[in-house]
C-alpha cells in the first residue's frame, strides 16, 4: 500500500528568481496608491555592517507618486571562501545564493541538471 501524502518537493519555484536592482519586477502588479504600473525606483538605501555581515536595505518607490511599494533587504557575508547572499523582498521574492571567492569553484564541476 502506498503513502498518499503529497511529495515534499512539490513547491512553488517562482520566488527563486534572482533579479538585479531596479529591473523588471515579476511580482509587481502596480502601485497600491496611484494604481500605475510604472518604473519602481530605489530609495532610502542603507548599509549596515554587523560583524562581517553586510545588511543592505532599501525601498522600492513608485516613480509616479513616491509611494513605498515594498521594502527590500539583502545580506552579504563571506563564509569559508564563499560569498553568501540572502534576499528578502515582497516584490523580488526570497533568494539565497553563495558564490566562491576563489577563481576555481570546486562546486561548479557539479552537474547543473
Ligand atoms: Zn504610485
Ligand atoms: Zn526588491
Ligand 1 centroid to residue 21 C-alpha, Å? 19
Query: Where along the chain do its domains lie?
Result: 25-103
| Mean pLDDT for the stretch of residues 52-70 | 94
40-50 and 53-62 beta bridge pairing: antiparallel
Closest ligand to residue 34's CA:
1
Ligand 1 centroid to residue 89 C-alpha, Å? 18
Rounded Cα–Cα distance for residues 57 and 75 (Å): 9
Residue of 25, 14, 26 whose CA lies nearest to 95: 14
Topology annotation, domain 25-103: Immunoglobulin-like (2.60.40)
Classify residue 7 as left (phi > 0), alpha (psi -120 to 50) or beta. Answer: beta
| Least confident segment among 34-43, 47-56, 71-80, 95-104 | 95-104
User: What average pLDDT does the chain have?
Assistant: 77
Amino acid at each position: 500500500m502506498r503513502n498518499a501524502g503529497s511529495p515534499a518537493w512539490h513547491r512553488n519555484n517562482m520566488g527563486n528568481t534572482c533579479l538585479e536592482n531596479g529591473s523588471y519586477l515579476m511580482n509587481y502588479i502596480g502601485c497600491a496608491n496611484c494604481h500605475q504600473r510604472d518604473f519602481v525606483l530605489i530609495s532610502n538605501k542603507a548599509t549596515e555592517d554587523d560583524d562581517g555581515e553586510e545588511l543592505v536595505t532599501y525601498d522600492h518607490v513608485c516613480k509616479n507618486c513616491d509611494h513605498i511599494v515594498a521594502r527590500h533587504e539583502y545580506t552579504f557575508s563571506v563564509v569559508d571562501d564563499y560569498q553568501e547572499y540572502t534576499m528578502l523582498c515582497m516584490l523580488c521574492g526570497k533568494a539565497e545564493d553563495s558564490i566562491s571567492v576563489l577563481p576555481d569553484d570546486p562546486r561548479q564541476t557539479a552537474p547543473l541538471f
